[in-house]
Amino acid sequence: MFCLMTLHTPSREVTGPATLKPEKPFDSLDPQKQPGKIIFRQELEYSISMNSLFFINWLHDKNANQLNLLQYLKYKSVIDNNLNFSLSNCLVHNLGIQYYFDSISKFYPDDNTLSTRLMLKIKSPCNLIFTSALLSRWMPGYDYYITDSGKTVKTLSSSFLTPLFWNLSFGIDLTWKDWGSLTLGVSSARLTYLRDKRIFDLRKVNEYYGVIKGKNHLFEYGLSMQLLVNRELLKWFHWDCDLSLFKNYKASVDVNLKNILGFRINKFLKTTIQTRVFYEEKICRNVQLENLVAVGFYFNL
């Protein structure tokens, strides 16, 4: 049995020291809004679900199918003057408990992202933009192996801030109302940091996520692109897509795609299909694909 419960709080706008009122999500392209006023908006979304997960060419799990209990938290705040300035911060927390059919359990997924977008509007749809994104996990992650004697052993694969990814970008943003945006990072950088340097000895490797043994970080400079789609169609279908590309001048393109399709069956029943495609040559030369399907109860507050 699958279940999905979602709690969503409406947006709030602040236009003065003591003015706080619920309102529809702020639309920076609405000509009826008075320009120049500082608008503050915040949103909170939470969901919990049971689902099934299927892997194809996944690096650590070797196509192992399992059941999951998954929770999702998203908090977003926006400061906008509806004229030429916008500052947004977004925290996304995605944590699951994974149960294998052979009774092994672990924390997966464990994705935590803190992103900031500072945008200066030039002329619709073009904007100057600076973005920052921090990505790490909270709980320790392990790879499980079966020895020749049939004993199950585990090896640490990641932990809090091991690794930590920090992506920085400055460039041009193209925004289309009711669809999403395309960001071209003409000057981009990525920092990979390992807090726990024991990972090299535990995994018996001399390089991990591109970081050489004896060091704790890797800094890369290059170009980037991000495509964000957030589109609702026919009141029952929602498409959410996040495609990120990063090109180090000395390496091949890194690809990270997260695509979510949501189908509203009725007022209290919803189906979501989440697909993630990941490719980074220095980690694995295979394209990794993850599919997640959730069906169950759904409600908004």
Quote the pLDDT of residue 140: 93
Cα–Cα dist 117/86, whole Å: 8
Q: What is the pTM of this model?
A: 0.76
As given in the structure block, the two tokens for residue 42 are 């915040």
What's the length of the chain? 301
Which segment of 122-131, 159-168, 232-241 scores lowest on mean pLDDT? 232-241
Cα–Cα dist 246/255, whole Å: 7
Q: Confidence class of residue 102 from pLDDT cuts 50, 70 and 90?
A: low
The more confidently predicted of residues 157 and 19 is 157
Cα–Cα dist 193/278, whole Å: 19
Asked whether the predicted pLDDT for residue 160 surpasses 70, the reply is yes
Could you report the per-residue pLDDT of 165-223, keeping only the tens digit for each?
999 999 999 988 888 899 999 999 999 999 999 999 999 999 999 999 999 999 999 99
Quote the pLDDT of residue 125: 81
Asked whether the predicted pLDDT for residue 51 surpasses 50, the reply is yes
Quote the pLDDT of residue 81: 87
Mean pLDDT of the chain: 81
Q: How far is CA 148 from CA 104, 151, 152, in A?
A: 18, 7, 10
Cα–Cα dist 268/12, whole Å: 25
Could you report the per-residue pLDDT of 116-134, keeping only the tens digit for each?
999 998 887 889 999 999 9
Helix (H) / strand (E) containing 49 = strand 39-56
Q: What is the average per-residue pLDDT within 36-54?
A: 80
Cα–Cα dist 116/271, whole Å: 30
Calculate the CA dihedral of residues 228, 233, 238, 240 and round it to 10 degrees. Answer: -10
Strand pairing partners for 164?
193
Q: Confidence class of residue 54 from pLDDT cuts 50, 70 and 90?
A: low
Asked whether the predicted pLDDT for residue 224 surpasses 90, the reply is yes
User: Does residue 10 have a cis peptide bond before it, meaning omega lies within 30 degrees of 0?
Assistant: no
Distance of alpha carbon 129 from the chain centroid:
19
Q: Confidence class of residue 251 from pLDDT cuts 50, 70 and 90?
A: confident
